Amino acid sequence: MSKCEECDADISIPSDALEGEIVTCPECGASFELAKGSNGFDLKPAQTVGEDWGQ
């Protein structure tokens, strides 16, 4: 279990999670990427890719 950096809600990380997976906060909807930490996974803000509409 980790804490959301945005709203401090609990975010559960599945036992079969892999590094680089995206998890979403159930409270505020913020997305985080799983990164290997010293004891399990750390959460880092996920990169959001915007539409470029061919420009």
Across the 55 residues of the chain, what is the mean pLDDT of every consecutive 10-residue run?
A: 91 91 94 90 84 67
Res 28: pLDDT: 95
**CATH at residue 19:** 2.20.28.160
Beta-bridge partner residues of 43: 34
* Residue 51 covered by a domain: no
Structural domain span for residue 28: 2-45
* Residue 19 covered by a domain: yes
* Residue 52 covered by a domain: no
Res 40: pLDDT: 86
- Token pair 């930490």 is at which residue? 37
Number of domains in the chain: 1
E strand or H helix at 41, and its extent?
strand 40-45
* Residue 37 covered by a domain: yes
Res 55: pLDDT: 61
* Residue 22 covered by a domain: yes
